[in-house]
Amino acid sequence: MIRADSYLRSRGAMRVLLPRAGCYFSHPLRLGSQRRGLQWSVPHRADEKPQSFKHQLYESTQQRLKRERAEQERYSQFQSQSQGSRNAALMFALAFFCTGAYYLGSLKPAELPTSSTSPVYDIQSPRHNVTPSNLQAAWADFVEILGKDNVSTQNADLDMHAGSDWSSYALKEGERPFLILYPSTTEEVSRIMKVCHQRLIPVTPYSGGTSLEGHFAPTRGGICIDFRRMDRILGLHKQDLDVVVQPAVGWEELNEHLAQDGLFFPPDPGPGAMIGGMIGTGCSGTNAYRYGTMRDWVLSLTVVLADGTIIKTRQRPRKSSAGYDLTRLFIGSEGTLGLVTEATLKLTVKPKSQNVAVASFATIQNAAECVTRVVEEGIPVAGVEILDDVQMKCINESQSTSRHWKEAPTIFFKFAGTPVGVKEQINMVQKIVSSTAGRSFEFARGESEMQELWSARKQALWSVMSMRRGPEDHVWTTDVAVPISKLPEIIEATKQDMTESGLLAGMCGHVGDGNFHAIILFNKDEKATAEAVVHRMVKRAVELEGTVTGEHGVGLVKRDYLQHELGESTVDAMRRLKLAYDPLCLLNCDKVVRVEPPAPGEVKEW
């Protein structure tokens, strides 16, 4: 290799120093090209004297030493900083990079589940935002949607929408809504749900408030949507025998309106029940034996989903095989999958003739055997209701009806059809009553007497509530259902269990389809006893191939019994449906199926 300084001197150019791997030039260079190679030339000022190589070497070394000393001074300054400052800087950098990494990771979509079911221990607990600041900000959004008059934070409203005296669920501390909303249209409900979805606010729907198993208990706080302003009949199609209603229409008011046209809506649960709640629980009533339950009388639903999406489950024809039956899916879902804002209901022609008969028996088992015989004979009675001796005694002492009843197990029969058909049914039932140790049989002669006889059945719950010894007493109302052939067995065993408990407990129910209720009065000291009676009653029904609830619904009280009736896999499949329609668990959280594991000791041993 030819040394650069020798080469440049030989070319008559300026001397250049190339220390180690670098080149240092004291003046800018001009690069030119010649035939044999490159030529570097440096322009000189006229008065500038050429410097010696020794002087240039000394000057270059001095500059290098100055740079090294500057670097040493900066390093020493860094070393002189406090250990705390360096640690703080390090922590800041770490937090910054971790936050950035988390944000980038959150942009990646969550992996979709690959299983067909969702066990409760495999899902994340719901994460809601019920902080005062978030709820207060939402209040402003709701006022903009509904107006200030339809957004309530009054204590009386909040207490009323938290629970009821007739519910079997005991509210826990903090289970109270932040505010109550009163929408009037489907669109308003949709806008409300969009706000709640964005702000992660849990929602509890409220219709008539007559439910019994803790269906509208606000376990997560949040807000309550009361549908009382949505109480209109939107359209009556007489020729098609259907009607379109909003959820706050009561079944009693609806039938009064329909009677003007000779029409009839059969499901008849307790007084005060509204269509929205009846759909939510899949209820039935005293007419269930003849006409079926709520599931048989709903054609179509308009539903607002958890994110505010509005869907309609189907059109108005009596039959359809188009796609999934979403109508039946939402019936009995208790507001956990969506909020019903309109319903198209089937109607039937009001019977030409009706009548009521009452029969008393020596024992509750005799009465149950009579019911079984009536069903086996295929007599098309409209309803078959049973009340035991305790229940009849409560009715007498409460004076809730205009007459005094025999305090014995009693069956109430309802007949409907043509005048000739009704007379024939009465004669056939009377013979069966006589053959099953019936003590008496009385049928109504006229409309007023018919109303009087049937009034006792409708006063069952209220008559037991009137027997409360003080404000500390509570009423536990629950129901089960079994195949009709198992009815005498379970009624007799449950009656004996309630008698031995020492509690004031009556029985009544729609025994024509194997469904009966227990109404138990208890105080704080007797609560454990009442719970044990109900637990054994439910277990007995499941073991007899029955169901934990015939018409009241699951709510909070019965949810842990579902796995015994249906199996864990079936309940896990229900939970998957819940998470599919409501992935944030905003709608009536904790009802029907659990969305997080129970606390130790919370679930009773089977």
Nearest by Cα to 526 from 479, 468, 478, 461? 468
Of 272, 288, 276, residue with least CA distance to 210: 272
What are 368-417's pLDDT values in tens digits? 999 999 999 999 999 999 999 999 999 999 988 888 899 999 999 999 99
C-alpha distance across the termini of the chain, in Å: 96
pLDDT of residue 79: 54
505-539 per-position pLDDT tens digit: 999 988 888 999 999 999 999 999 999 999 999 99
Q: Is the pLDDT of residue 290 over 80?
A: yes
Report the distance separating Cα 331 and Cα 294, nearest Å. 8
What per-residue confidence (pLDDT) applies to 84?
Answer: 58
Give the list of residues 6+ apart from residue 33 with CB closer than 8 angstroms, or none.
Answer: 39
C-alpha–C-alpha distance, residues 577 and 592, integer Å:
12
**Calpha distance 294→210 (Å, rounded):** 16
471 pLDDT band, cuts 50/70/90, is: confident
pLDDT value at position 102?
A: 65
Percentage of the chain exceeding pLDDT 70? 84
Q: Encode pLDDT of 40-53 as tens digits.
A: 444 444 455 555 65
Closest CA to 170 of 137, 107, 217: 217
Domains and their CATH numbers in the chain = 4-80 (no CATH), 125-350 (3.30.465.10), 353-557 (3.40.462.10)
Higher pLDDT, 84 or 226: 226
- Checking if the pLDDT of 281 tops 60, the result is yes
| pLDDT of residue 552 exceeding 60 | yes
Question: Is residue 344 scored above 80 in pLDDT?
Answer: yes
pLDDT in tens, 182-225: 999 999 999 999 999 999 999 999 999 999 999 999 999 999 99
Cα separation values, 482 from 221, 267, 282, 287, 477, Å: 36, 20, 17, 18, 17
